[in-house]
């Protein structure tokens, strides 16, 4: 029977230290979890704006703190404040649209009825067979849904003070972390690389892949989504569709989902125009959606994202939805990032096994 190692043996001390390291790391992660959104976005923004920080660092004579502070200021003006203002505008317009629907000024059931009335007779009969033409029942379900939405909004309004406080804390924490990540980023990344028990070239590949994916996702996918949402919202505003800013934001959000995209918004609106006799409006919106909004995705996304980070559309879709289910709104960046790192890690593992097999094949038999 094997005797247990003595208490002062290096093997036992390493095991105890490894358990302690895991427990302390989990506890530290739980402490930081309430601010995970601010931490993730600070890391993302630091990676995206690191080239700008490097140029400012040379311009300011290698004064790291001044260059980091200037980069934070540029980030605040270029990226953060416009997003905050857009969020406020979308919230206000969503409240206005909700009020119009609740008061009956905006009758969605009537709009749907107009679309259904323009369908062919055989299709109307098929829909009626399944009860899909019963607008009275649809109206009742809509009123019930609005009532539940109103209750949810009321409950959220009661905790608005706490929500605002959490937002302010997260906002300043993001800026605070962004400053130190920009200033001390190279040193921190070197310390992290030394702590990872992998070969040097594998660590370099993983770090390079992480940086490339973050820049491609934030700079590419988000920028393309904002452009598509802006183009779609501009078209709806020109055609005097109620809630153009709100629907533009929805199109920008849906543009993050491949193969589905903004067409989920502009296509039904174009069909409604065509079914209600507004032929030129429907045709113009359909042409704008296909030729302009659609081409933005096909032309800009490959240029901004690049072929090296291109994931299959189904993997992007599943990782985006799964990331949002776990991390909330931040998941539309975190999900594809984790998926890309998953693919990269398995590719490195496969290459390492192939290289190991080649080396073993070249060695003489024992």
Span 175-184, pLDDT tens digits? 999 999 998 8
Q: What is the pTM of this model?
A: 0.69
Residue 23 included in any domain? no
Residue 203 and residue 348 in one domain: yes
Most confident of the ranges 41-55, 136-150, 196-210, 330-344: 41-55
Find the range with the poorest average confidence among 37-46, 136-145, 266-275, 346-355: 136-145
Residue 271 and residue 341 in one domain: yes
Return the higher-pLDDT residue of 328 and 100: 328
Residue 3 included in any domain? no
**Single residue among 125, 158, 188 that ends a domain in this structure:** 188
Residue 257 and residue 349 in one domain: yes
Residue 172: give the domain boundaries: 35-188
**Single residue among 135, 153, 188 that ends a domain in this structure:** 188
The alpha-carbon radius of gyration of the chain (Å, integer) is: 27
**Single residue among 188, 215, 242 that ends a domain in this structure:** 188
Q: How far apart are CA 266 and CA 7, in angstroms?
A: 70
Residue 297 and residue 229 in one domain: yes
Residue 341 included in any domain? yes
Residue 266 and residue 128 in one domain: no
Residue 81 and residue 101 in one domain: yes
Span 265-277, pLDDT tens digits? 888 888 878 877 7
Q: Please name which of 234, 213, 216, 232 lies closest in space to residue 300, comparing C-alpha atoms.
A: 216
Residue 161 included in any domain? yes
Q: Please name which of 227, 250, 249, 231 lies closest in space to residue 239, comparing C-alpha atoms.
A: 231
Residue 180 and residue 323 in one domain: no
Specify the pLDDT at position 157. 40
Number of domains in the chain: 2
Q: How far apart are CA 312 and CA 90, in angstroms?
A: 31
Give 137's pLDDT tier (boundaries 50, 70, 90): low
Q: How far apart are CA 180 and CA 16, in angstroms?
A: 33
Residue 179 and residue 55 in one domain: yes
Span 66-116, pLDDT tens digits? 999 999 999 888 877 887 777 777 777 777 766 766 666 665 556 666 655
* Buried/exposed 203-240: b ≥16 CB within 10 Å, e otherwise: bebbeebbebbbbbbbebbbebbbbbbbbbbebbeebe
- 49 close to 75: Cβ distance less than 8 angstroms: yes
Residue 24 included in any domain? no
- 246 close to 335: Cβ distance less than 8 angstroms: no
Alpha helices in the chain (DSSP H): 10-32, 36-48, 50-59, 64-75, 81-103, 108-117, 121-129, 135-158, 160-195, 200-215, 223-238, 244-254, 263-275, 279-288, 294-305, 313-327, 331-362
pLDDT(353) > 60: yes
Span 222-242, pLDDT tens digits? 778 888 888 888 988 888 887
Specify the pLDDT at position 6. 62
Find the range with the poorest average confidence among 6-10, 231-235, 241-245, 294-298: 6-10
- 57 close to 67: Cβ distance less than 8 angstroms: yes
Longest dimension (CA), the chain: 90
Residue 10 included in any domain? no
pLDDT(263) > 60: yes
Residue 292 and residue 173 in one domain: no
């Amino acid at each position: 029977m094997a005797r247990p190692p003595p208490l002062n043996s290096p093997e036992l001390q390493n095991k105890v230290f490894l358990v302690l390291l895991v427990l302390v790391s989990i506890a530290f992660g739980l402490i930081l979890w309430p601010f995970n959104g601010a931490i993730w976005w600070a890391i993302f923004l630091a990676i995206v704006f690191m080239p700008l920080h490097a140029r400012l660092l040379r311009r300011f004579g290698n004064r790291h703190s001044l260059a980091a502070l200037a980069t934070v200021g540029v980030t605040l003006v270029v990226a953060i404040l416009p997003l905050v203002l857009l969020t406020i505008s979308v919230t206000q317009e969503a409240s206005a649209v909700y009020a119009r629907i609740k008061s009956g000024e905006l009758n969605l059931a009537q709009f749907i009825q107009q679309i259904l009335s323009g369908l062919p007779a055989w299709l109307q009969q098929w829909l009626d067979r399944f009860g899909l033409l019963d607008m009275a029942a649809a109206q009742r379900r809509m009123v019930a849904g609005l009532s539940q939405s109103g209750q949810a909004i009321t409950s959220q309004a009661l905790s608005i003070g706490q929500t605002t406080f959490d937002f302010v804390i997260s906002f300043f924490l993001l800026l605070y972390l962004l400053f130190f990540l920009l200033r001390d980023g190279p040193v921190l990344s070197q310390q992290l690389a030394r702590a990872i028990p992998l070969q040097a070239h594998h660590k370099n590949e993983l770090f390079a892949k992480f940086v490339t994916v973050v820049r491609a996702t934030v700079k590419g996918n988000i920028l393309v989504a904002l452009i598509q949402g802006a183009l779609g919202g501009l078209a709806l505003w020109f055609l005097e569709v109620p809630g153009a800013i709100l629907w533009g934001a929805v199109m920008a959000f849906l543009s993050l989902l491949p193969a589905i995209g903004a067409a989920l918004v502009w296509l039904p609106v174009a069909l409604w125009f065509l079914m209600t006799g507004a032929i030129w409006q429907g045709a113009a919106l359909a042409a704008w959606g296909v030729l302009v909004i659609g081409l933005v995705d096909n032309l800009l996304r490959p240029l901004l994202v690049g072929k090296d980070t291109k994931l299959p559309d189904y993997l992007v879709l599943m990782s985006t939805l799964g990331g949002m289910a776990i991390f909330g709104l931040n998941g539309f960046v975190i999900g594809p990032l984790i998926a890309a790192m998953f693919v990269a890690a398995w590719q490195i593992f496969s290459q390492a096994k192939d290289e190991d097999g080649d080396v073993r094949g070249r060695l003489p038999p024992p």
